[in-house]
Amino acid sequence: MNIKSRALSSAIYLISILPFGVLYILSNMVYFFLRRIIKYRKKVIMENLQNAFPNKSIKEREEIKNKFYHFLADLLIENLKMRSMSPAQSRKRLKLLNSEIPLDYLNNNQSIIFVTGHYANWEWGIHSLSLMTDYPALIIYKPINDPVFANIYNKMRSRFGATMVPMKQTLRKITEYKDQTHSSVFLADQTPTRKESNYFIPFLNQQTPVFKGIEKIAKKNDYPVIFCHIDRVKRGYYTAKFTILVEEPSKFLENEITNIHTKFLENIICEKPELWLWSHKRWKHKPHD
């Protein structure tokens, strides 16, 4: 570990051991900085909201934007807390409402696929799913560009036993675990390049490119697909509810599974839009490009 890595890791740890009350004071400062000083990706956020909700008034979209900035600030601070959160704190801060659904599959030696999105605190969800069972949990992720921060962040994510799997190694890793009961966790709203996918689907009022890997892996291995809906109850407290989307993947037509989980996520976002990652450039690619 080099000097930069040690310094960054130590700084994150020192912040993480602060009480939540102090952390949310810091979050208020981060919110002011993001919204008022640098106006973080304001143009991207407003364009995304306008395209997604053309029937909402300017005032309504402004309200969603401001709530999103508040949530984003909290999310950044809460994720640093992952560095030192205990298992008891993790279980208290993100409660699994119906864990018997995935556990019934796993305890019957049936591997499963979890689907979620960049919604609410999906990072805390990694800890909760890791603590839910001793079966291996494979977390599929897009690597962060900064290798130093990426290494530190993945160590935080995997503190309770999760296995971090770079997206390009997904098929190889799942094949490696084929004879071992496990769960794999996918963020369904990642943005593919044109080389990675040219399948577009209506999502938040726009034609949107989507990865089809969840569907392909589910069909190839006959893994049930379960949506993990993480919701924010109040500041610093979340719940996760599991919904079976697909029990027998082999019975579904091509693209059907992809359409199902994409639509499910869209409905969740529309219910409480401020909890989705509107600063993400999700619509960089168009069907006519």
Average pLDDT, the chain: 96
d(CA 183, CA 165): 12
What average pLDDT does the segment 175-193 reach? 95
The reported pLDDT for the residue numbered 2 is: 83
Amino acid letter at 96?
A: L
What average pLDDT does the segment 191-209 reach? 93
Q: How many C-beta atoms surround the C-beta of residue 278 within 10 A?
A: 25
pLDDT at 1 over 70: no
Extract the tokens encoding 254.
Answer: 């091509």
User: 55-88, pLDDT tens digit by residue?
Assistant: 999 999 999 999 999 999 999 999 999 999 999 9
Amino acid letter at 99?
A: S
d(CA 147, CA 257): 34
pLDDT at 288 over 80: no
pLDDT at 274 over 80: yes
d(CA 21, CA 166): 34
At residue 3 the predicted structure's pLDDT band, cuts being 50, 70 and 90, is: confident
Residue 155 exposure: Cα atoms within 13 Å on the Cβ side? 14
- For residue 18, the 8-state DSSP code is S
Extract the tokens encoding 142.
Answer: 């897009």
pLDDT at 208 over 70: yes
What average pLDDT does the segment 200-228 reach? 97
What average pLDDT does the segment 102-121 reach? 98
Strand partners, 62: none
What average pLDDT does the segment 173-201 reach? 94
What average pLDDT does the segment 248-259 reach? 97
Strand partners, 208: 201
The reported pLDDT for the residue numbered 289 is: 62
Largest Cα separation within the chain, whole Å, is 54
At residue 287 the predicted structure's pLDDT band, cuts being 50, 70 and 90, is: confident
DSSP strands (E only) in 121-221: 137-141, 163-166, 183-187, 200-203, 206-209
pLDDT at 257 over 70: yes
Are the beta carbons of 211 and 99 closer than 8 angstroms?
A: no
The reported pLDDT for the residue numbered 186 is: 98
d(CA 167, CA 173): 10
At residue 145 the predicted structure's pLDDT band, cuts being 50, 70 and 90, is: confident
